[in-house]
Structures are given as C-alpha cells and as structure tokens.
Amino acid sequence: MKQKKEIKGYDESVGQVLSSYLIINCINLTVKQSINIPLITNVFTMLLGVGYFNILFHEKRYLSIVIKKLLVLELLLVVLVLISIMRYPYVGRMIIIRCLWTSLFCIPLFAMATNVTDEWKVIKKTYFATIIILICAIIRFVDYIKSGSTADYNMPMGYALLYPILVHISMTKFNKKYWLLAGLEIALVLIYGSRGPVLCFGIFLILFYLYKEKKNFKRNGVLLVLCLCIGTIILICFSNIVIAVLSSIVLKLGIQSRTINMLLNARLVVHGTRSEIWVNTWNNILAKPLLGWGVAGELSYMVSYPHQLFLEILLHFGLALGGCLCIWIVYIIISKIAKTKGCDIPILIFVCCGFIPLMLSDTYLNSPLFWILMGFCMDKRSKREKRVYL
C-alpha cells in the first residue's frame, strides 16, 4: 500500500493556508456586516483575495507537491461549471460566483489536505485565526449594543465561531483555561448564532466524551444515557417551571436571542421553511433522476441552495452517481475514525464543523472545512501507523 512521506513543514504550511482562509472569511464577513456600502466592501474583498493569493504564492514550495492533483480538480470543476452554464445560460453569472469559492479555497485546501501526515500540526497553526474570529465576533457584539439591538440573528457569524469553539474545547484536556475562550464563544453563538452551531458543538461534546478513551466507552456511554434520561424526566415533569425560570433569567439579563427563545419555547428542532426547501429539492431530483441538474443547477429555479449535503449531491449528479458519492463520503469518514487508536480529535473537529453543518445549511461548494475533512479522510496509512491523539 502506498504510504505518505512526511515532508518537513508541509503540515504547518497547510495550517497556514487554512488559517488565512479563516481570517479572510471572518474579516470579510465582519466588514460586510458593518459597512453597507457595496463599492467599499467589494474593493475590500478583492484586496483580501490579493492577500490570499500572496499567501498561496509564499507556500508555493508545498503547493507544488500536489500541483497535478490541484490542476486536475480545477479542470474538472471548470468542465462541470461550463456544462451547467450551457444548460442554464440565464444564470451563468450566478453559477460562476457560486463556484468561485470552490476554486479559490475548497479545491486547494482539499488537495493539500490529502498529503497531511499529522492533522494536529494543521490545527495548531490556526490558533491565531481562532482568536481573530473571536475578536471579530466581539466587535459585532459591541456594534449591536451601540445600535441598541440585542436580538440580531447572525447565522454566518455563528458558524464562523464554530471552528474556534471546537478547537478550544479540544484544548481543555491540556489546559482548562481554554474553557474561558470556549465559554465566551458559546455565549456569543447562543445570543447571535443559529440552531446549527448549537447542534454541532453539542454533538462534538458527546463524541469527545464518548471516544476520548475507547477503553471506557461502555462506562461513558452508560453515564451519558443515564444523564440524558434524568434530564429528560426533569424536563417532562417540570418543563413549565424550568422554562419559566430560564425565561425570567434571560429577560432580567436583557438578552433577546432567536436561538434561546426557540429553545425556551420548545421550537429548537422546528425547521420551518427549510423543510419546504428539502421537499422541493427532492421533487426536482425526481424530475431529473439520471443526470441531475448539474453543479449549482438549483440556481436555475431558486437563489438559495438545498440546505442538505446529500440532497444537494443527488440534485447535482443524479440518483446513481450522486448516491454513490454520498455512500463514499460516509464510508471514508467512518473508515478514517475507525482506523485511529484512541480519539482522533482533529477529525471530530472537522466532522462537526465541516460535515454536520451541511446537514442543515450551507452548500458543499462554499465549505472549505468540509473539503479539508475529505482530504484528511483520503489517508492511506494503516491502523498500526496511525498516531494516538488522546
């Protein structure tokens, strides 16, 4: 079996590119939300793009290692985009814009991630980026306070905070002080984020607890189930009292949050218009079951996206090819986790911030963290050669 050769500085280089993406994405998001002048924000975005290309050029020595793979994937994307444009010429510009993110961030990070030998080294290079994201989130918080608003629904910032939350939670095993950062980030998500990030870091906490020591899997599992049962009983028997107390506390603090309000009113799992989008997407899949609608083909009938990874893949590539891709994605993720002795925290981080969010929102075409996860999962090393992370 072909093995990866560890190249000195390569993993850190991938981490540097990932860190650049995280910083650029968050700063761009903060500026666009703070300044409602399209000309200024567009120029600023282009300047950030120039900065990103400068970083890629700086890492050209390591990028050249996967240059063939990168060029093949970029060429494949161009072909798929051209096919979609020929099928739907009236939305050609929108298709190009949708796939531009894929070309600039997703494919380069995927190609580089396939050669990573130690995912922790990648994550460690992003610590600075996690602090920048937190600072940007605090800046937005201060802006809301100054404007007299404490109830703005900010889903993009909520998802931007998800990666720092998971990284800082994972670091609490080595230093409990990271709980301060994670706690602050979680509070910001609860106040200004959406249900998606709450669900993602909740799942991460459960997986982190269950798998951090596989030898204690049964014990941890029993304790978790017991706590869930007790909590469920309390909520069922005393739900009105619990909700009343929590509502009183939240109101006294002057906090008005969409996520908290939905949680207190037992509507956290209600999907609303998203369910309608899923039904509409499935009907369109059945309308073109063989070839699908093509990459970003949904733009021919709506301006959004399916909000569900597997439905989106089936919509783009048809039931046969799309179904195979969905099975392959699940298989390589499970295989990656199963091959690792102990708990592969880096993979859990990217599963919970790259894969699970796509079950509820966003599109795989604009999700570099999902593509990095796929790159990591292309690992060919055997179980014996895998590092033990925790």
Domain ranges of the chain: 10-385
Q: Is 139 left (phi over 0), alpha (psi -120 to 50) or beta?
A: alpha
Burial class (CB in 10 A: 0-12, 13-18, 19+), 295: buried
Residue 384 has pLDDT above 50, yes or no: no
Q: Where are the alpha helices (DSSP H) in the chain?
A: 10-34, 38-58, 60-63, 67-87, 92-101, 107-113, 119-124, 127-146, 155-171, 178-192, 195-211, 217-252, 258-264, 273-287, 309-339, 345-350, 368-376
Q: Give 161-175 as a DSSP string.
A: HHHHHHHHHHHTTT-
The 8-class DSSP code of residue 24 comes to H
Q: For a pLDDT cut of 70, what percent of the chain falls above it?
A: 76
Residue 125 has pLDDT above 80, yes or no: yes
CB contact burial 38-57 (16+ within 10 A = b; e otherwise): eeebeebeeebeeebeebbe
Residue 17 has pLDDT above 50, yes or no: yes
Q: What is the mean pLDDT of residues 87-114?
A: 93
Given this model, what pLDDT does residue 390 score?
45
Given this model, what pLDDT does residue 174 score?
80
Q: How many residues does the chain have?
A: 390
Residue 49 has pLDDT above 70, yes or no: yes
Coil, strand or helix: which one is 268?
A: coil
* Residues in Cβ contact with 178 at an 8 Å cutoff, skipping those fewer than 6 apart: 168, 169, 171, 172
Q: For a pLDDT cut of 90, what percent of the chain falls above it?
A: 39
* Residues in Cβ contact with 275 at an 8 Å cutoff, skipping those fewer than 6 apart: none
Residue 44 has pLDDT above 80, yes or no: no
Tell me which of 330 and 57 has the higher pLDDT: 330
Given this model, what pLDDT does residue 259 score?
53
Count of C-beta atoms within a 10 Å radius of residue 3 = 10
d(C-alpha 280, C-alpha 253), whole Å: 41
Residue 243 has pLDDT above 80, yes or no: no
d(C-alpha 23, C-alpha 218), whole Å: 40
Given this model, what pLDDT does residue 382 score?
46
141-194 residue pLDDT tens: 887 777 665 555 678 888 999 999 999 998 887 888 899 999 999 888 887 656
Q: How confident is the model at residue 378 (pLDDT cuts 50, 70, 90)?
A: confident
Query: What's the pTM value of the predicted model, to 2 decimals?
Result: 0.82
179-233 residue pLDDT tens: 999 999 988 888 765 677 888 888 888 877 776 655 555 555 555 555 655 555 5
